[in-house]
Structure 1
Amino acid sequence: MRQENRAVQPAEENPLLSLLRISSHLAGQVEIRAALRSVKAEIENLLPLDHLDVCLIDDDAVWNTSYEVGIRTRWSLSRTLVSLSPVRSILYGETDHMLTGNAMEDPRYTYPGAISQPIFRHQLRSRVNVAMKVLGRTIGALNCSSRRPDQYDEATVERVRHVADVLAPYFYSLRATEKAKQAAIVHAEAQAREEGLRQGALELTRTLEQERQRIGMDLHDQTLADLTRIMRDMERADDAADRARIVNRLQDCIQDLRRIIDTAVPTLLDLFGFVHALRIHLERAVGDGADVSISVVDDTNGRIDELDATTRIALFRIAQEAINNAARHSGGDRICVTVSPHEGGLKLAIADTGQGIPEPTYNSSSQKVTGGVAHMRTRARLIAADFRVTTGGGTRIEVILPKTKTPPRAAPQD
């Protein structure tokens, strides 16, 4: 029997085998870019290319995310609007493929506003783009490009369409998994922030309760006792000299009461404004005999006094704590308080020239951060402000209030 000799077609030239291998390579992949990288060589068996990317859209087809292998372009740096994508016609479902021999001159890819810079930078002239669909719905596009003009034809479109049909369900599943992971991470971070804020608020509440107890003890042990003694002395007073001494003691008692009241409720804040009240507190904290230079500067023309009462008092308490720490512990010769504009919001800064504070005292990553710095941080978080501590050549504490927390400036009256 005569046997015919038949030429065996190389596996790499057989589209069906390439598609099977593509499916095999995708098995076990858990990350989109790695999955695309795993099939790039098999796709190159089907058509020549210099750039390969997959563009996936979100559920409402407003944003798209690109994943590419080989050449790294602007397309994969961040999410972009579908309306600015060179393959928007596919992503909007207006067509299921695009084919061009020179994308650099094709207005479908280079319309005004389109993110087409990679096409020109890398001279991606020939392009074939095919819709990736799952259950009849477009989820993205498979994009193949070559620097050579007129590289692709309708037969190429069919090959790429087969590849897109194989990739689409895998990539749709990987994208769903990726979004679920991101959502889980965001949820976990939100829970951690909430728990941290809860713990900080509890610690702050405990400290406030201790402060109330201290004030009560001051009133009982000092002011009330002084008043009791003064009352008894008044009953025994015989002459003007005795009465004058009692008046002086009453004045001292009144001063003590004012100090306690100012500590409990910052009345100066309401009477004279934030900057003046803080300057008085700074002068008291430093003391008359200390050789420390002090300054309080407001570069916002009083905007901080236009804040709601809760926010303003929280900022005042933070500044009080920071000033007390600087006066008692820094050993520096200068303490400066500044209120300044910051990206539409406000920034309160308290800086000293002292010895600084150890890193574990203020590092938010530490699980055992306690004391004044922790209380300041908690107060800042309760008013949605950013809290920063820098040290080295002194200590600088910054509380940054976002734009949404600051009131708009009133228009000037004519």
Structure 2
Amino acid sequence: MAYPEQQLVDGLLAISGALAGHIDPGAAFRATAVAIGTLLPHDHMDVAVLLHEGRSHVCYEAGCRTDWSELARRPVPVEVSPVRAVLRGELPFLLTEDALCDPRFHFAGALDGPIFAASLRSRIVVPLRARGNIVGALNISRHERGCYGPVELEVAGHCAEFIAPYIFALNQTEEARRAMLAESEARNREELLRVGASRLTEGMERERKRIAMDLHDQTLADLARVVRQVSALSRQGIAGAVQLAELEREIVNCLTELRHIVDDMRPSVLELFGLRDAIEAHLNRSVSRAVPSIAVRIHDASEGAADTLPERILTALYRIAQEAINNAVRHAGPRLIEVRIEATVSALRVVVTDDGVGTGEIDPDASSGIGHMHTRAALIGARLRIGRASRTGGTRVAIEIARDRITAPPADAPATLLENI
């Protein structure tokens, strides 16, 4: 039985009115879904919109929410869409009494999980056309079996004709906006790397001067004192137990200072034992002379995933964590510093947390360390976030790098810097 003509006209006019005023394709579609519901009752509705000359698509949902909502932010190839036959124009439509057992929706690699999870049994799939081409597909579903037939299919086609040009235009606008943002972010990142690389180079030069001063003022002075003691013993012609013990202590102190300087220059623990042990060694060394004492805690939940990273990325993560620990010890006055290393399927994260006075007490102009942390993160494509650890204070430094970003160095990153970060 056909829909009453006036009901159909009123419904289509309601759809047109629902579209008006929206500039976001997702919001426009959700408003449209309410109007379409007066003509075609449904439990779930989504629209797949083609991108990149039909190679990929995004998805906007209305009704019950499924994993397909993630496709609004992350386009995927058309090949994995359960409705790819309509998107490609291979079938004029899809109409099924029970999509759960309809093989047209299920094939190797299909993103068909939501059909089962949301029990989308009755389904109508019709193409969206604009400028004579298929630009997407409108998908209408109910939980019950056998809810739709040829009459509902025809109404769905009319609805698709109404929304297709508007959804297509909004999506094109959204794509243009994303392209502009991406270009702007690329320019900003290039400028960040340029300025950051310059600052990091200056910081490295200052660090070399500091190391030279440490060697001159401390280690060389200690060695000169040892030489004088040896010379005095030589002139006396005899060395007692007390003098030898003193000489031994002086030599041990020199070796300890040299080891600290060498460890700062090149983290050998990192190379030999991995990220967790290197951070733990630095953590313990940093708080060893703190007054009052600082408790430390480290937990590695990554199952060693960090140590599979390329050396340049591993070293950068260590240096950022090292700087975060140093800042906490020097500026925050914490009672506890905690480090967590975590890994997920998509990312690896190092989090340094303290319960000190918080970021508000750190003067950015007095310490270039925070700027260096941001630069190191940018050079390896990592995300660095610095903020309050809790409502009562403290600082949380989180470095996160996506696994798909763990590739070759950025083209605009100076090679000499990458070798030294």
What TM bracket, shorter-length normalisation?
A: 0.5 to 0.7
1:307 and 1:241 mapped to 2: Cα distance?
Answer: 57
SS, match of residue 209 in structure 1: helix
- 8 Å CA contact 1:343–1:403 kept in 2: the answer is no
Q: Does 1:391 align with 2:389?
A: yes
The residue that corresponds to 2:416 in the other structure is none
1:180, CA displacement in angstroms? 1.5
2:283 and 2:15 mapped to 1: Cα distance?
Answer: 72
Distance 1:86 1:381, change over 3 A: closer
Percent identity between the two aligned chains: 31
The residue that corresponds to 1:342 in the other structure is 343
Residue number among 69, 79, 94 corresponding to 1:77 in the alignment: 69
1:37 and 1:218 mapped to 2: Cα distance?
Answer: 66
The residue that corresponds to 2:41 in the other structure is 50
1:290 and 1:367 mapped to 2: Cα distance?
Answer: 25
SS, match of residue 70 in structure 2: coil
C-alpha distance after superposition, 1:50-86 (max 9, x if no partner): 14654323346565444466x4453862337756656
1:144 and 1:288 mapped to 2: Cα distance?
Answer: 65
Q: Does 1:32 align with 2:32?
A: no
- 8 Å CA contact 1:53–1:142 kept in 2: the answer is yes
Tell me which amino acid in the other structure corresponds to 2:85. Answer: S
The residue that corresponds to 2:182 in the other structure is 186
1:200, CA displacement in angstroms? 3.5
Distance 1:84 1:118, change over 3 A: farther
Residue number among 163, 172, 175 corresponding to 2:171 in the alignment: 175
- 8 Å CA contact 2:384–2:400 kept in 1: the answer is yes
Structural mapping, 1:4-15, within 5 Å: 12=6
Distance 1:396 1:39, change over 3 A: closer
The residue that corresponds to 1:107 in the other structure is 102
SS, match of residue 134 in structure 2: strand
1:273, CA displacement in angstroms? 5.0
Tell me which amino acid in the other structure corresponds to 1:30. Answer: I
Tell me which amino acid in the other structure corresponds to 2:48. Answer: C
Tell me which amino acid in the other structure corresponds to 1:379. Answer: R
C-alpha distance after superposition, 1:252-274 (max 9, x if no partner): 99559726842662375489656
Distance 1:145 1:325, change over 3 A: closer
- 8 Å CA contact 1:282–1:323 kept in 2: the answer is no
1:26, CA displacement in angstroms? 5.9
1:279, CA displacement in angstroms? 3.0
Distance 1:295 1:261, change over 3 A: same
- 8 Å CA contact 2:50–2:135 kept in 1: the answer is yes
1:74 and 1:223 mapped to 2: Cα distance?
Answer: 64
Residue number among 84, 88, 92 corresponding to 2:88 in the alignment: 92
Distance 1:292 1:370, change over 3 A: closer
2:310 and 2:338 mapped to 1: Cα distance?
Answer: 24
Residue number among 134, 140, 147 corresponding to 1:138 in the alignment: 134
2:270 and 2:134 mapped to 1: Cα distance?
Answer: 61
Larger radius of gyration: 1
- 8 Å CA contact 1:322–1:397 kept in 2: the answer is yes
1:209, CA displacement in angstroms? 1.9
Q: Does 1:207 align with 2:207?
A: no
1:42 and 1:398 mapped to 2: Cα distance?
Answer: 45
Distance 1:158 1:201, change over 3 A: same
C-alpha distance after superposition, 1:299-331 (max 9, x if no partner): 889887776554454344445434444444444
Tell me which amino acid in the other structure corresponds to 2:265. Answer: V
Q: Does 1:116 align with 2:115?
A: yes
The residue that corresponds to 2:372 in the other structure is 375
The residue that corresponds to 1:358 in the other structure is 358
Is there any run of 5+ residues in structure 1 with no aligned partner, and where?
1-9, 407-414
Distance 1:240 1:372, change over 3 A: same
- 8 Å CA contact 1:330–1:356 kept in 2: the answer is yes
Tell me which amino acid in the other structure corresponds to 2:389. Answer: T
1:49, CA displacement in angstroms? 1.7
- 8 Å CA contact 2:48–2:59 kept in 1: the answer is yes
Tell me which amino acid in the other structure corresponds to 1:184. Answer: M
Residue number among 282, 286, 289 corresponding to 1:287 in the alignment: 289
Is there any run of 5+ residues in structure 2 with no aligned partner, and where?
408-421
1:177, CA displacement in angstroms? 1.4
Distance 1:43 1:305, change over 3 A: closer
TM-score of the superposition, structure 1-length normalised?
0.62
Tell me which amino acid in the other structure corresponds to 1:287. Answer: R
